[in-house]
Structure 1
Amino acid sequence: MMNDALVIEGKAAPRGRFPHVKTVGDLVFVSGTSSRNADNTFRGVNVDALGVTDLDIREQTRAVIENIRDILGAAGAGLEDLAQATCYLVNMNDFGGFNEVWGEFFDESGPTRTTVAVHQLPHPHLLIEIQGFAVRPR
C-alpha cells in the first residue's frame, strides 16, 4: 500500500504547505486545482494594454481539468479514475460554459460532481477551482 504526498514539478507551486496530490492506498486525493501555470500566469486570462481584464470560464475550466489529468497521472491514475469532484465557481453565471467544457471530458459515466458558488478564490483572475479524488487502477 502506497501513501505519498506529491508536489509535482512543472505545475504551479501550491500557495501553502500542502501537496498537489496525496495517495492513501488506492485512493488519490487531488488538492484544489486552478488554471494557474508553473510561471504563475493563468490560462483563460487576457489583460489588454489599458489593464482591462477578460476572464474566460471555458478556457479556465479546460486548463483546470488538464491540470488535474496531469496531477492524477503523476500518481498513477487518470481522469477515467476520477470518482468525485467538487467544483467551485466564483459566479454561477459561468455554470453553462463550465458545463459545456466539463462535457468535453466526462459523460454520465464519469465522476460524481458537486458545484458550488464561492465568494472568491485565492487570486482575482480565478473563476474556478476543482478538487477531487480518484481510485487508482490495480
Structure 2
Amino acid sequence: MKYSINAERAPEAIGPYSQGTTAGRLVFASGQLPISDRDKKSLVEGGIREQTERVIDIIESILEEVDCTLSDVAQTTVYLASLDDMDAMNEVYARRFTTPAPARAVVGVSELPLGALIEMDCVACR
C-alpha cells in the first residue's frame, strides 16, 4: 500500500504530486527545489552551495516524517542547471551524506523551475 508524506517543514508541492510517498519499506522523496523557508514562493538566497544545503534540509525533513534519516537514503538523483556546479555541489553532498554514500545519478538539465540551480530526489529504505 502507498502512503503520502506531508512534512510541515518542507515546502508544499508546486504541482499535483506528494512531497514524498512510502511503499512498504521504501520511502520516495519527490524532486525538491531549494525553496526558502521564509518565502515559500522563492528560492533560498545564495549560490549552488546554499541551494544544495537547502534541498538536503528539505529532503531530511520529509524523511523525518517517517522516522528516517539521510543515512537511510539508498539512491539520489541530482539535477543541475549547470554541470559546472558539480564540484561545489559535491562538497556539500559529501558532508551531508555519510558513507556508504547513496547510489547517485547527476543529470545536467537546461532549466529548473523558478530558476533553481539544483533539484534532488531520493529513495530511502526504513
TM-score by length of 1: 0.83
Query: How far has the Cα of 1:107 moved from its partner?
Result: 4.2
Q: C-alpha separation between the residues in 1 aligned to 2:124 and 2:90?
A: 20
Identity between Structure 1 and Structure 2 (%):
35
Are positions 1:128 and 2:118 aligned together?
yes
Q: C-alpha separation between the residues in 1 aligned to 2:106 and 2:5?
A: 26
Q: C-alpha separation between the residues in 2 aligned to 1:42 and 1:11?
A: 13
Q: Does the 8 Å contact 1:85/1:131 carry over to 2?
A: yes
Q: Does the 8 Å contact 2:7/2:62 carry over to 1?
A: yes
CA RMSD, Structure 1 to Structure 2 (Å)? 1.4
Cα deviations across residues 64-102 of structure 1 (Å, max 9, x unaligned)?
011111110012211010000000000011111001111
Q: C-alpha separation between the residues in 2 aligned to 1:44 and 1:100?
A: 18
* SS state at 1:40 partner: coil
Partner in structure 1 of residue 8 of structure 2: 9
Partner in structure 2 of residue 18 of structure 1: 17
Partner in structure 1 of residue 31 of structure 2: 32
- Alignment partner for residue 78 of structure 2, among 64, 87, 96? 87
Q: C-alpha separation between the residues in 2 aligned to 1:103 and 1:44?
A: 21
Q: Does the 8 Å contact 2:42/2:114 carry over to 1?
A: no
Query: How far has the Cα of 1:123 moved from its partner?
Result: 1.2
Partner in structure 1 of residue 45 of structure 2: 44
Partner in structure 2 of residue 103 of structure 1: 94
Q: C-alpha separation between the residues in 2 aligned to 1:44 and 1:64?
A: 12
Structure with greater proportional helix content = 2
Say if 1:20 and 1:133 are closer, same or farther in 2 by CA, change over 3 A.
same
Bigger Rg over Cα: 1
TM-score by length of 2: 0.91
Q: Does the 8 Å contact 2:9/2:58 carry over to 1?
A: no
Structure 1: segments with no counterpart, 5+ residues: 46-55
Q: Does the 8 Å contact 2:79/2:107 carry over to 1?
A: yes
* SS state at 1:123 partner: helix
After the TM superposition, which segments of 4 or more aligned residues of structure 1 sit over 3 Å from their partners?
A: none
Q: C-alpha separation between the residues in 2 aligned to 1:80 and 1:106?
A: 7
